[in-house]
Amino acid sequence: MDDGQVWDDFPFHGLVPKRETGAERFLSRYPQHDGTGVVIAIFDTGVDPGAPGLQKTPGGQPKFVDLIDATGSGDVDTSTVVRTEDCEEREIQGHTGRVLKIPDEWKNPTGEWHVGSKALFELVPTVVRTRLEDHYRKKTWDPVHTRLVKNAMEELSKFEKKCDTTSLDDKMELQDHQAKVDVLNALGSKVSLAGPVYDCVVFHDGTSWSGVVDTSESGDLGSCVLMKPFKESGQFHTFGDLDQMNYSLNIYENGNVLSIVTTGGSHGTHVASIAAAYFPEEPEKNGVAPGAQLLGVKIGDSRLNTMETARSLIRASIAAVDAKVDMVNFSYGEASHWTDSGAVLENFMELVEKHNVVFVSSAGNNGPALSTVGCPGGNTSSLIGVAAYVSPDMMAAEYSLPQKKPPQPYTWSSRGPSADGDTGVCITAPGGAVTSVPNWTLQRSQLMNGTSMSSPNACGCIALLLSALKTEGIAYSPAYIKRELQNAAKPLGPHDVFSAGYGVIQVDKTFEAIKDQSSDCSLANVQFKVSVPTMRARGIYLREPHQFQRPTCFSVVVSPHFSESSVPQEKLSFELRLALVSSESWLHTPQHLVMWNGSRQFIVEVNASSLEEGVHYAEVCAYRTSSTGSGPLFRVPVTVIVPNQLQSDRRFAVPSLHLSKGKVSRNFFHVPRGSTWAEIEVRNDSKDCKARITVHALQLLPETAFREHQAIEMFSLEPECSSSLIVPIEDNHTLEVCYTQYWSETKDALISTVTKFHSLFPSSLELNFHSSFCWTRLDVTSMFGHEELSPEFRLTHHVMPKRPKSHLLRPLGERDTLPCGNHIYELLLTYSFHVNRSAEIRPNVCLLSDMLYECPYGGQMWMLFDQNKQFLFAGDAYPSQYSKTLDKGEYVLKLQICSESKSKLESLKDMPILLEMKLSSSISLDVGSVRLDTFNAGSKVSKTTSPLKTVPLYISAANDDKVKNIHPGDMLAGKFSLARSDKVKKKVSYPLYYSIGPKSVRGSSNDPKKPSQLKSDEYEKALKDWKLRCLKWGVLELCDLEEKYADDVTFLLAQLKELESKPESKHADIKDLVSKILSKVDMKEILAHSGTKTDLCSQGSQHSEMDEMKSVLVEALLLEGAVICKSEEDLLSRLTEIYVDLHKLLEQKDEKLRSFQIDYAKAHKHYSLALKLLQEEVSLSPTKANEQKVIEFCRLNGWNHCAENKEKWLLRKYPVDYQLF
C-alpha cells in the first residue's frame, strides 16, 4: 500500500439518495421541515416495526400511527366463546384442545373468552418457514430419528439371524422389524413439518379489547405477551428468538376476529425505510423524511405470495382515511386493460380528490419498450407516477461499479405514454437504496432497486414539501403538488419524457416555486382534467399509420375540478386567461383560451406528414397570461409513431447499431397484413467483447394490457455470435422492437439486427370444435413468401364448468365500511367437485379473470379446501398464476366477490367457473389436407406453402377411447400451431377448445330368459333380503324370522351382528354363532370357487350363491376377530386361526383384510407393522380417525417426535370451519 495514498470517506449519500433530488439541500436550509406533521401510508407487504430506524421520529413520536393487515391472511376466527362462570375458575379449553391457564391479574368482567388458533407457518414468509424447518430438523428431529433408524436396522439384522421362517409368530415379528425400518425411513425422507399451532384468546377487560397468542404452546398464558390493538398501545412482539418475526394485533367484530399483523415480505419495510427511517446515532442512514410518521398497511396477501387483491386495496384506502394520512406510497401495480376506471381506482381517486391525500405510485418495472407503465402509477390521472433512474453516486455506493457513468433510467423502468395518450410517467427519482429490512431476514439492511424504490424516495421528498407547507400555512391540493413537481423537475440529460417524465424531482425548487406563488393561492385547490372525447383518452396517441396519413384535428376538453374544501365563492370567482403554446411545429393549437368553472373545448391539429421514422412527442402547454414566469397549468400530450419502411421481402435490417451507455434504439413496424410472427436476429459484431443486449418487442391493442402482446429477452452474445427471438404478432398493428444494453454495462456494444416477418395465417385465431361434428375445417394462408407448414392440434387440459351449489349475500364488517358510510357486500359462492385422479388443477373465474384495478367489482378471491375443510391454496384475478396438484378426492371451492352494489352481486349468484385439470398425457388430433383424410386415422400434413395460396386443414374428432373419462358438457383445451420449426411452435400458437358431446351407448348381450322356477327362487331371496333389512330399520325383530330362516347363513350373520353390538356380549356366544355359520359353509368349496377364474358349465346363480357364502363367512370371521381384539381375554390362538382363514379367502390388498391385519398386529404388539398397514389405509382414506390411530401407534412405538408433529398437522388438516377470507 502506498503510504501517501489518500482515502476518501465512504459515499453514504449514495445509499439512500437525497442529493440528486434536492432533499439534502432542502434539509440543510430547513432542518425543521423534515417530514414532521406528515403521515405517510405505506400500502405494501407490511412493515416491520422492529426494523432499524423505524421506532421513533426526531421529535420523539412513535414512528407508526398504526399497523394493519388489510388482506385477511392473518385473521383468526375467534367467534367461539367459552365462559368462566366465576372469578375463581382460571382455566379454559383452547381451540387446539389444550387447557389454557389464565393469569389472575387479567380482568374479564363478562367471563367470556373468544378462542381460535393459528399455525405459525401461515403467518411467516417462506424463507422463515424454511429456516425454522431446517433448525428443527437439525436440532430436534434428525438426532432422535437417526438414532431410531440405526437401532431399528440393528434389531432387524439380529432377528434375521435367529428367525424361524416356518413359524408364523417369527414371520410376523420379522415383518414388524422390517416395517419399523421402512416406516422410519419413510417418515425421515418425506417428513413435512407442521410447525407450531398457537391458541389465540381475545377478551374485553371492561375498557377495551385485549388479545394473546400462546407462543409457549403449553397453555401457560402468563408466559406470553398480552397485547392491545396496535393503534392503542404500539405493542409488538416476536413469536420466538429463532424466527425474529415481529407481530402486532388488531381486534374486530366485537372480538370475533383477531388479526395477527405480520409482514409477508421484506419489500414494504425497505420502502418505508427509504421514505422515513430515522437513525439518531447514524443520520447518514436516515430516510428522505425522517420526521414523518407512518401507517403500515399490508396489502400483499400471504396466501397469494404477497399478491395484492382488490379487497385489500379498498380496505387500505378506508384505513388511510380513518388515520387521516397526508400521503400514500404505493410500490405495487399490474398491467391493466384500460385506464382511469374500476372499483379500486375509484377509491384511490377519492382519496386524492375528496380527502386531499397525495398519492405516489411506482410506474412499473416492465421497460424498456414504450407504453409499459403499470396501473395505478402510470394509468390514473390523480396519482403521481414515478420512474426510476440511477445516478453516478448510486453506481459507486450501491453497485460498486469501477467507474461512474452519466445518470440514466434503469433498463427495466417502465416507459410512457399510457395506452390512452397520457405521459404515464410524471417524474423520476433514484430507483435504488441500501436500507433497513425486517428483522426476520437476519440482515440490518439490503440493496433493492426498482420503481418500488424510486416511489418512496419521491414520496419522502414530497413529505418534506408538505411538512414545510403545513408549518408555514400555505394551502395546497394533491393536483397542485403534482403540477408544481412536474414544472420544477430537472430534465434527465438526453432522456425523453417517456423514460423520465418531466425530470428528476427537485424538492427545494418546488418549495421555492410554491412559496413565490403563495400570495395568490387561487389555483391551489384546482385540478385541470384533460380529455380527448373522440379517442376516450387523456392525450393524443397515434400509433397506426391510418391515424396520421393526413393532417387531423382533435377536440380537446379541459375541465377544472375543485377540491372538497373549496367554497362556492372560489368557483364563482374562478376565471383564467390562458396562452396555449405548442412545443413542436407539427402540432397546431389556438393561441388563447378563457376558462371559467365549466368545461372548455378547443381544437388541436396534428400534421405528421413531414415527420421522420420513429417516435415523436409534443405537447400543448397552457400558461396564465398574467403570470408568464410560472409553469403550465395543464398540458395536452401528443405522441406520434412513424413506422420504419420494410424492404420488399418484409425485412428490416440495421447493418450497424452502436449502443452506448443508456441508449435505447427503437424500431417501429406496421405489421404487414397476414403476418403471424416476426423473427428478430441480433448479432454481436465486436471481435473481442461480449455483449449483453436486451430485446423488447411490444404491440398495443385496444383494451388489452401490454403484457398480452410482448416478448422480452436478454441475450448474452459472445464476439461475432448471434441469436434470435421469435415474437407472435397481430397484423395491421404497430410493433415496437427496441434494443439496449443493461444499464450497468461499462463498454459500448456494436451489433447488427434483422427483423423478418412471416405468415401462416389461420382463418380463425381461436378454434372451437364440438366432438359431435366429427371434423372441422381450418384454412391457412401464407400471405407472402414460402413457409414450412406442419400443423399440430394438441389438447392438454380437461376443463370442467361448475355452477355454485349455494350462495350467500351479506354485508361485510367494520373494516369494509366506506368513508361515506356505505357498506361493502360480499357474495360467497360455494362449488364442490370430485377429482378422480391426481392432477394439477387451475380454477378460472372467467367473467372476472385478468382484471384487478380496472375490475368494476371491489374484489374477487377464491380459496380451495379438501373434504375436511383444510385450506389448500388460493387465487385471485390472474388464474395463470395459481395451480396445485390435487390427489383423488372431494373438494370445495369458495369464491368471494365484493361490491358496494347488492344488485351487481345478485346478478352473479349462479356464475359458473372453470376448473382446468392438466391431462396425464396430451391428446393429438388427426389433421389432413383433404376431406377424405377425416376417414383415415393418423393423418398428418407437412408441406411448403406458396404465397397467397390457401391450404385447407381437416381436423378429426378425438377417438372415443381417449375421452372416455370426460363427461358430456365438459371441454378439452389446448393449442394449435402451424409452423414446422420447433422454436416457432413454442412461441406461436392459438387457443383450441374441444367440447364433449354425448357418449356412445353400446348394447350388451343378456342371458336368455330363466325358467319360471328360477324367478320364484329370486323372489324368495329378494323377500328374505328385504326382511333382513327390516331388522336394521327396527321394523322386524330377530324372533319374527327365526322360525323360517334359523339355518340360513345370512340370518345367522344378522344374529351375529346384533350380538356383537351389545356391550355385554361375550366371545363364547359369538364363537358359537360363528361355528354354526362355519358348519353351514363348505370352506373348501368356497376356496375352490375363488380359485376358478371362469367356469363355462356353471349357472350364474351358482356363482352368486358361492359369492354370497364367501361374503358371509368373511364378515363373520371379521366380526369375531374384532371382538377378540377388544376383549381382555387371552384369545390370540383363535385370532391367529381367523388370520390364517382370512388370508385364504381375501386378496392381500383387500381393504377388509388390511383393516383386520392392523388389529391383529396391534393385538400381538407389532406396532410398527400395524403403523405401516395403517399408513396405506390413510393414503386411501385420510380421515381424522385414521390419523389419530397413526399418532397412537407412533406413541406406542416410542416415537414421540413423530406423534407431536402429526398432532400439529391434525389441528391444521381438520379445522372446525373454513378459513376466513
Catalytic residues, by residue number, are 44, 267, 452
Cβ atoms of 51 and 269 closer than 8 Å: yes
Q: Which three cell numbers stand for residue 709?
A: 402482446
Burial of residue 728 (number of CB atoms within 10 Å: 0-12, 13-18, 19+): middle
CA–CA gap between residue 244 and residue 440 (Å, rounded): 5
CA–CA gap between residue 1120 and residue 1112 (Å, rounded): 12
| Residue 586 one-letter amino acid | W
CA–CA gap between residue 5 and residue 1017 (Å, rounded): 113
Q: What is the DSSP letter of 784?
A: S
Cα 178 → chain centroid = 44
Cβ atoms of 261 and 249 closer than 8 Å: yes
Cβ atoms of 498 and 425 closer than 8 Å: yes
Packing angle of the helix pair 451-472, 478-488 (nearest 10 deg): 110
**Radius of gyration of the chain from its Cα atoms, rounded to whole angstroms:** 37
| Cβ neighbours, 10 Å, residue 961 | 7
DSSP string, 429-479: EE-EEEEE--GGGT-SEEEEESHHHHHHHHHHHHHHHHHHHHHHT----HH
Q: What's phi and psi for 77, nearest 5 deg?
A: -75, 105
Q: List, in order, residues 6 or more apart from 588 with CB less than 8 Å away.
A: 582, 604, 605, 606, 607
Cα 665 → chain centroid = 35
Cβ atoms of 447 and 433 closer than 8 Å: yes
Q: List, in order, residues 6 or more apart from 939 with CB less than 8 Å away.
A: 926, 927, 928, 933, 956
CA–CA gap between residue 455 and residue 43 (Å, rounded): 12
Q: What is the DSSP letter of 29?
A: H
Nearest to 874 by CA among 552, 1218, 572, 1120: 1218
Q: Are strands 664-670 and 677-684 parallel, antiparallel or unpaired?
A: unpaired
Longest dimension (CA), the chain: 121
CA–CA gap between residue 112 and residue 102 (Å, rounded): 12
Question: What Cα–Cα distance (Å) separates residue 796 from each residue in 810, 882, 972, 974, 982?
Answer: 39, 17, 7, 5, 18
Helix/strand/coil percent split, the chain, to 5: 30, 30, 40
Q: List, in order, residues 6 or more apart from 252 with CB less than 8 Å away.
A: 259, 813, 814, 815
CA–CA gap between residue 1186 and residue 921 (Å, rounded): 33
Cα 526 → chain centroid = 40
Question: What Cα–Cα distance (Å) separates residue 943 from each residue in 786, 789, 951?
Answer: 10, 5, 10
CA–CA gap between residue 895 and residue 913 (Å, rounded): 10
Cβ atoms of 972 and 799 closer than 8 Å: yes
Cα 90 → chain centroid = 43
Question: What Cα–Cα distance (Å) separates residue 148 from each residue in 155, 184, 185, 1059, 1198?
Answer: 10, 8, 10, 44, 10
